[in-house]
Chain A
Amino acid sequence: MTTFGVLQFPGSCDERDALLACSRVGDARLVWHEEADLEGIDAVVVPGGFSYGDYLRAGAIARFAPVMEAVAEHAAAGKPVLGICNGFQVLCEAGLLPGALLPNDSLRFVCRQVELVVENAETPFTRECRTGQRLSIPVKHESGRYFAPAEQLDELEARAGVVLRYAAGQNPNGSAREIAAVVNERGNVMGLMPHPEHAVDPLTGSEDGLQIFASLAALAADPKTAKVSAANALIKVSA
């Protein structure tokens, strides 16, 4: 079973929901920002919130937390790291993902459900999805405008590094090319502004977010047969 480690910085606020989401598909525990050891953890989740008060720039201080060195090693070993909202900002600041998140073009804090389109279903984070599938997942942020220089965006698109895009007319923050989620070149670090952990229960209107966590759970079960085991799981359910 996959063991998830959900980081907790001073100022994190979505770590409990992330923990809950991970617990539905695997084992999960919180990892305090001063811990420097990720032994036994298969997948790291860097949650949303306002780490270190978002002072200076969102994510700028958190990247120097002791745990981030361990996260960099985890990523360098090819193991999955998922950054959600503030976690995405932290991973960009840490140089684990390309680009940066700028203040929304509206200057407003946006909090609403958005439709996303899966652009790449071949990542460890989206294996349970289909390319072209739409996911309904909420956003809530003030600095979510994805930016990278044009040539970097071209390079990102050329290697299918854009994993999720806001559906037409749904871009809540002015992100370049409607980008909602990007993955690193190696394919094991993904960041997204929307909050899949807030969409894992029918009570909140959508369970689409669970597919992100389920993808990671299937992967760690057996990286080579992840797709097969996911397919089998579906067959079992329908039978």
Chain B
Amino acid sequence: MKAKVLIRPKQGILDPQGKAIERALPALGFDGVSQVRVGRLVELEAEDPNRLAELCEKLLANPLIEDYEIELDGS
């Protein structure tokens, strides 16, 4: 089954990448954009989607600093 895993920095953790993007936007004429946070998107195909959470905890995300969301294709 195809799945997408969205990984983002936990709330409250400084995301310098998001900040850098946010600061660059006004220079390009994009005003009024704030709270930019940068995460990762992992696409994969899993035979057993029930094991995806475990896979996220152990490798794809570091639960101390990141939250993750699993999106199963068609769900």
A102 to B65, CA, bound (A): 8
CA distance A57 to B65 in the complex (A): 11
Which residues on the A side are within 8 Å of B64 (C-beta)? Answer: 99-100, 147-149
Q: A107-B16, A107-B20 are in contact. Are A56 and B65 (CB under 8 A)?
A: no
What residue in chain A is nearest B60 (Cβ atoms)? A56
Looking at the assembled complex, report how far the CB atom of A202 sits from the nearest CB atom of chain B, in whole angstroms: 36
Interface string of A63-101 (1 = CB under 8 A from B): 010000000000000000000000000000100000110
Q: Is B59 interfacial (CB 8 A cutoff)? A: yes
Tally of contact residues, A, Cβ under 8 A: 18
Tell me whether B62 is interfacial, beta carbon within 8 Å: yes
Is B28 close to A, CB under 8 A?
A: no
CB distance from A225 to the nearest CB of B (A): 39
The chain A residues found within 8 Å of chain B, CB to CB, are: 56-57, 60, 64, 93, 99-100, 102-107, 145, 147-149, 174
A-B contact pairs, 25 of them (CB 8 A): A57-B62, A60-B59, A60-B62, A64-B59, A93-B62, A99-B64, A100-B62, A100-B64, A102-B13, A102-B14, A102-B65, A103-B17, A104-B16, A105-B14, A105-B16, A106-B16, A107-B16, A107-B17, A107-B20, A145-B14, A147-B13, A147-B65, A148-B64, A149-B64, A174-B14
